[in-house]
Chain A
Amino acid sequence: MTYPEVAGRPAGGKSLFDAAVLRGLDARAQREIEAASTLMPIAQGKVLYKQGERADSFYVLLEGEVALVARRREGAEAVLVRPVTPGESFGEEATVTGRSHADAIAGPSGARVAKVPVHLFRRAAVRSGRAELADRLERKLQRAAARDAILGTPLAQSLDEEGLESILDAVTFHTFARGQVVYRQGDPSVALFLVADGLVQIQTEEDERIRVRAYLGRGDFFGDEELESGTARAASAVANGPSIVLTVASRVVRSMAARDTELFVRLRRVALGTAERQKAVVEHVAKNATQHVFRDLYRVQVAESLLVIDLESCVRCGHCSWACGSLYGTSRLIRKGDKIVGNLPGAEASAGPSVGSSSGATAMRSLLLPSSCQHCENPACMVDCPTGAIGKDESGEVFIREELCTGCGACARACPWTNIQMTPRPADAPKPANVAAELVAAKCDLCRTYERGPACVQVCPTGSILRVDPQRDWGEVAVLLGGGRGLAGTRGASAAAAAAAPRWPAWSLIVGATLGAAGIALVGAVMRSRGHWVPWRGVGYGAGWAAGASMLALAGYAVPKRLVTMWMRAGGRKGHGTSGAERKNVVSVTRPQYVFHLVVGLVASGLAMVHAPQGGMLSASMGSALLLSLYVAGLTGLIMAGIYASGPRALSRIERAPLLPEDFAKERAALSTRLYKNLSGRDELVKAVAQKILLPYAKSLLGPLSLVASGRDLKQEERRVRTRIDAALSGRGRDRLLGIDELVRTAVELRALPAQRAITLGLRVFLPIHIVSFTLALLLLVLHVIGAIGAGSFR
């Protein structure tokens, strides 16, 4: 399906604004809607959208006809809801629930429709004084949604049609922003709540930790229990993401309960069932993992293409961020964010040579969710954009239209995970008229304008960076959220699964290469000493040429991957049939090259040893200088490979969250401030413990070293310190230790920080030496070859 993304002025522009919904808009509103709406021709019999598909737009039929067809239940026969005639709008139900309620199929003569983003329409309508229009539409739709929601709960059984109508009159809709409290523990219980959309969690707070007691999604209800007992709220309800909640006042519920004595019992049975189901899932995977993806369930609920970095194999080289930066001027991927634990399907295979083979396919791994767009199901940025510059294409990719972006920053503020940054607008970039717009919002668009898909994933040398669809790739998330995303199963095969496809036996290759290189070098040394192999003849001579060729191959790893702009060809959707789903499943192309580079590096060193006289490495000849540079490069390469193989795992054990080298100083100050802040106002006993145990522990010079050497992770270390404190106190003053856990956590982090810094530095420091020495070696190689050929033709 190809069509212009922005229908500047749809050919049927006049008839678009003749539609009943759009009548009476002022010029500005028309302009805005024009700019943001899409004109789509649909061939006869084609399906425009399916029932249950996510939707954030409604449509206006301009020409032809469209039939709306729906199934009442899964598997039931489809019935015609209504035919749509030109000038009519359809698909508005997205306004409330974000999902279509029917299939839209083009009629025999085909159709031409305009797709209008709902949020934009609402904004434009309200501004141009047509608020009542939007309101009326919304009320009607809300009622329908409320009906659906109530019918899905046990309330329905005690309601006849009349009762349902009277309840529908009594319910009110409330929207809650992410993090907003529906009610707090201790509040009076005044209503029963139904989640019409979004995610609400029931939680209590104890000792600086949140205890989540239930996750409630669309169709779930809460608050019934306290209503029954008439007590104050026993726990808080917090909107985990923007949620629409239906409120049924307590008197309505009570009057229902008076008529139907079983009502509360039924409600409780359902709630218990949900709780049991959730407990079964969570206990299985996240029993002691406070950092599990459940921590921010909303994030994984809405993310359709979440970028994760496997911290246990990521060598912190920053290629991902760098590649993005060189493609777009400013990197849209910042290697900072929440660290979570989760299973990474196919991690075993994707983990590269740096990870051992002990972890199973479902092993929990430390993952980083870096600042990079996760392509939400219902993007907050898109809703908040005042000019409709943010769009979402049919494959679910969220993108920014630069030509509409005024750089106001509303989207950047709206994104709960700060995945949008404001960047200076390039001089040649399109921009809206009459606006200074020095800035432009930038975020990951999965490299949609390039043929090959995300550059960050492709350039990762260890294959640690992956795009996952949490509801597809994380089974427990899907189960917890009630089984995936409804009817529309447009998601392709898992990227992680693709990553798990048969790969090179990297480890055996490298070990083989090491042995081979050592063997070659040994044989070479023996043969040289016996005078059989000489550099200018026979095997020695051939080895020289082979070593030179290997060096070119080595450079061939480093150079092309840095020339991202050259191999990332612009082309996007028109290119070789790469659909959105395929683009999401891109795997690293650099990883096999990295393995190859290691192998060739080892072999090249062996060949050089065969070719060159070893004794003369420091003599005054070009060959010696070449050999020296090559060995320096090889040695640093070898050291790097070693650190790459062992560093990330050690690092992932001891970091609370991955830090960039420039952030360590700040983090240290923040930690020590936190320590003292948490200490202030605490019991004297806690202060004494901190003075005697925690501060010396945190400041110990060799502490970081012993922490790394011990192989304990932060959690185990915290437990050990806590045991030490308990031992020192031998059971006294247990009740006076309020707040000690937080202090222990901070102290452990303070101890881990220098180690984290050292390992991070170790992962980085050798690369410049490697690059410089190898560049010198290459130059000397050229001179050496010229010299050799010159000498050879000396006749």
Chain B
Amino acid sequence: MSGPRVHKTLFVAPQPAGQGNAGGPPRPKQPATDAAETSDVRRVRPAYIAAAFGAAGLALAFTVGDAPTYSGAGPGPLTPPHVKAKLSCTKCHGTAEQGTTTFTKKAKGACTTCHGDHASTREPHRALAEQGKLGCTTCHTIHGPQSGVRFSDDGPSVRYSTWAEREVPEVSFHAGRTVLVPTIPLKVCTGCHTTKPDDPLARCRSHAGGGDLEPTVCFDEHRVALPPSPSIAAGPNRGSTKGANAPKRGEGVCSDQHFEDRSFAWEAAREVASRAPVLDKGSSTSSLGWFGAAAGLAVVGYAGTTGVQVLARRRSKNARAKAAPAVTPSDKKRLPIIDTSTCLGCYACVDACPYGVLDVERYVAVVARPDACCGLVLCEQRCPNGSLIVAEEGTTLERPRIGPSLESLDVPGLFLAGDVTGMPLIKNAIAQGSRAAEAAHASLPMRPKSPEALDVCIIGAGPAGISAGLRLHELGADTVLLEQGGVAQSIQNFPRGKLVFDQPLEVPTLGALWLKESTKEELLLQWMRIVRQRSLRVLERTRMAGIERRPDGLFVVRAVEDEEHPREVIARSVILAIGQRGSPRRLPAPIPEDAEKMVHYHLADAKSLEGRRVIVAGLGDSAMEAAIALAHQPRTSVTIVARAGTYARGQPRNIAEVERLRKAKRLDVRFSTEIAEVHVGWLLLRDAKAGGPGEQLSFDHLLVLIGSIPPWDTLQRAGVGRLGGERNAPVIGEGR
């Protein structure tokens, strides 16, 4: 491709999306977007709620579970007897320093305050004690791991430790009072001793297991087991620094423990200790449990919130989409009526109309092409201030007589769906197909039964037919589709790349048939995929030749396959989804047989006609779209022959483009002209009004796009009466 001489390529940019070959920056106008909440905004809420749930989980764990013991700012917990005695810090450590919670005083000698002086009776220990190297707390590490055995008179024996208690009911010792036997963990002895067999400690080990918390079972450390006798009480008060009123040996809080049966208590305690050497700390909830409970609830909160968000979004989306689209067409012609005194000229209605009915002139909306109006209220819905309403006009429309369930009022069991009912738009066709399918399925029990008959025969595999087929397939009905061309032929006949778009269709399962914004190819691709996926039975290239109703009420659909093999389908119900195109309208001039293959009634791909001379008859949307597509092919010469004197119908953008191309001499338009004669390779024109013989044009291809004949004949033969036109009585004779 040779560029201009002056301008070499400056910058290469990707083709903007959805632009086809037009080039240039993105499409000038998009539909107005409604604000939507993105995940950016949504994502924090679940996290906050999860945190709240987590906090709640923590609170719940506090109230329901075991409260965790506090071990934060102190040296550690006390043994249960001390806890029971409500021992406080000041008891042993004196007062804290002014203004702090720090205790500087060591509690070394504090035990004797309550317990009296129980110095060790073992010689080495006593020697150490006299040197001040061994005190009560050296072995009885008051805040460290301590354990013991408690025998109560009325309950089972209990093995306790700093963290937990456990009942050992197998061993009991009854002394008429509560007996406590502290057991020292091996750990405190191994500060000086070793665990070697030759160490004196070996004799005291319980070998009950438990590592360095294994209890030692030499209880004779302090030896004295008897209650105080006056002689002992008068004896030397070794090691005691307390004053006269300090408890003496055998006195104090533990005086009731010093009895004759103490050695039996030791024996029982040995037994208990060997049965339960170490108590599991984790018997109360560990921090992992706490955290787990809170985290679990947080996860629940997060998932719940996200779920609620998704649901709310779906609901609002559904609410926004119009409630089930209208499926029955109205009887009267409806047209937009515009209040010019309030119209803003904002183009909302113009953009909403898929047919280009409306236009804005002098800043006020006008109904520019009333013929193209489909009577739906898309424009009314978009008008911001109610200046536009769609109201019925006097003229009655021509449409088949059908009831609200789309069943023919004349032939029960025969349903109609799609364009044939007089309601245009692919979206409506999809909705109608589904509605007809449901109605047909619901009426099946009332229809005659026969083993040879299918449940439903659908005629036409366009949007309505496919939709009906899918719905019936879903409902489990035995269904077949007959299609004279291929699946979705009507859509395939759209020009290449045509944009088909509208609001999303919020009907479950059918939503899949509708793409919010797509080209014809994408839509087709999607449908092909669905048809294949659901293995819908479609008989392609099978043209319906007639429908009869047998005396038993079953329908016999006569069809012709590949134009040669007749075949019959017997069905209990029939859905007619044959569209409204019917057959293309033909030229009034006769076409010689040899020229037939040069004459086409639709244009599928303009590329195939590249470099040819093409004459397009007609100036409707499809003719203009075809002409535009052809004119964009290199070396293709395009002539439009139109009977109208000017652009009478069609979308504004098509008109603008044809006009542009005409000015650029890329195509030629002959207004007020009609084709008088067609010959092989040339034709004769004449003036549409005056009628005089016109010029002679030669061509390679002649595209006839002058509309189509509605399929009234077919409907009439099927017995469907019509409104608007002359009313037909059912013509299906019983037993014919």
Contacts and interface: CB of A to CB of B under 8 A. Distances in A.
Interface of A: 28, 123, 126-127, 131, 177-181, 183-184, 186-188, 201-206, 208-215, 225-226, 234-236, 238-241, 268, 271-272, 275, 278-279, 282, 286, 290-292, 294-296, 298, 317-322, 325-326, 330-331, 334-336, 384, 386-387, 406-410, 412-414, 416, 418, 420-423, 434-437, 439, 442, 534-537, 541, 562, 616-625, 627-629, 632, 660-662, 673, 676-677, 680, 764, 767-768, 771-773, 775-776, 779-780, 784, 787-795
Contacts of B286: 618-620, 624
B384 A213 contact: no
A677 B163 CA distance: 72
Contacts of B25: 178-179, 238, 240-241, 296, 298, 416
A436 B522 CA distance: 38
B693 to A, nearest CB: 31
Contacts of B11: 211-212, 282, 286, 290, 292, 294-295
Interface stretch (B150-158, B345-353, B423-431, B481-489): B345-353
Interface string B7-33: 111111111000001111111111111
Contacts of B1: 204, 206
B257 to A, nearest CB: 27
Contact of B102 (A28, A325, A537): A537
Nearest to A415: B30
Interface stretch (B126-134, B289-297, B548-556, B675-683): B289-297
Contacts of B364: 127
B101 interface: yes
B23 A318 contact: no
B24 A240 contact: yes
A292 B13 CA distance: 8
B4 interface: yes
Contacts of A319: 40
B34 A422 contact: yes
B37 interface: yes
Nearest to B632: A184
Given A179-B24, A238-B25, A330 B291 contact: no
Given A275-B6, A330-B37, A422-B34, A28 B341 contact: yes
A318 B39 contact: yes
B324 interface: no
Contacts of A268: 6
Interface in B47-90: 47-48, 50-52, 54-55, 58, 66, 68-75, 88-90
A234 B384 contact: no
B47 A771 contact: yes
10 contacts: A225-B4, A238-B23, A290-B14, A406-B384, A413-B30, A423-B35, A536-B72, A618-B286, A620-B287, A628-B287
**7 A-B pairs with the lowest CB-CB distances in the bound complex, closest first:** A318-B40, A792-B101, A409-B32, A788-B73, A213-B7, A412-B32, A238-B24
Nearest to B607: A681
B460 interface: no
A209 B14 contact: yes
Contacts of B71: 616, 619, 621-624
B647 interface: no
Given A209-B14, A215-B10, A318-B41, A794 B88 contact: yes
Given A178-B28, A437-B384, A619-B286, A784 B72 contact: yes
A205 B23 contact: yes
Among A208, A296, A410, A414, the one with the most B-chain Cβ atoms within 10 Å of its Cβ is A410
B7 A209 contact: no
Contact of A331 (B14, B32, B38): B38
Nearest to A424: B35
Nearest to A278: B10
A210 B14 CA distance: 6
A126 B348 contact: no
Nearest to A271: B6
Contacts of A621: 68-72, 287
A311 B285 CA distance: 47
B141 interface: no
Given A435-B384, A775-B52, A792-B101, 14 more contacts: A202-B4, A203-B23, A210-B13, A271-B7, A286-B11, A322-B43, A408-B344, A408-B346, A619-B281, A620-B68, A621-B70, A680-B521, A772-B295, A792-B74
Contacts of B95: 795
B68 A622 contact: yes
Contacts of A422: 32-35
A619 B287 contact: yes
A536 B386 contact: no
A684 to B, nearest CB: 18
A184 B664 contact: yes
A331 B521 CA distance: 35
Contacts of A286: 11
A775 B74 contact: no
Contacts of A211: 3, 9-12
A386 B363 contact: yes
Contacts of A628: 287-288, 290-291
Contacts of A127: 345, 362-364
B interface SS class: loop
B28 A180 contact: yes
A188 B664 contact: yes
Nearest to B385: A435
B665 interface: yes
B28 A330 contact: no
Contacts of A442: 35
Nearest to B14: A290
A616 B68 CA distance: 13
A410 B346 contact: yes
B10 A213 contact: yes
Among A291, A436, A789, A794, the one with the most B-chain Cβ atoms within 10 Å of its Cβ is A794
Given A127-B362, A294-B13, A331-B40, A622 B70 contact: yes
A157 B44 CA distance: 67
A294 B33 CA distance: 26
Nearest to B382: A409
Interface string B370-411: 000000000000111110000000000000000000000000
A211 B9 CA distance: 6
Contact of A779 (B55, B102, B351): B55
Contacts of A271: 6-7
Given A322-B41, A334-B38, A421-B33, A279 B8 contact: yes
A787 B70 contact: yes
A629 B291 contact: yes
B253 interface: no
Among A238, A673, A790, the one with the most B-chain Cβ atoms within 10 Å of its Cβ is A673
Nearest to B88: A794
A406 B285 CA distance: 62
B535 interface: no
Contact of A620 (B101, B163, B342): B163
B282 A202 contact: no
B46 interface: yes
B242 to A, nearest CB: 22
B99 to A, nearest CB: 11
B282 A620 contact: yes
A100 B58 CA distance: 68
Interface string B506-522: 00000000000000011
A556 B365 CA distance: 56
Contacts of A795: 88-90, 95-96
A619 B66 CA distance: 13
A775 B384 contact: no
A772 B72 contact: no
B291 A772 contact: no
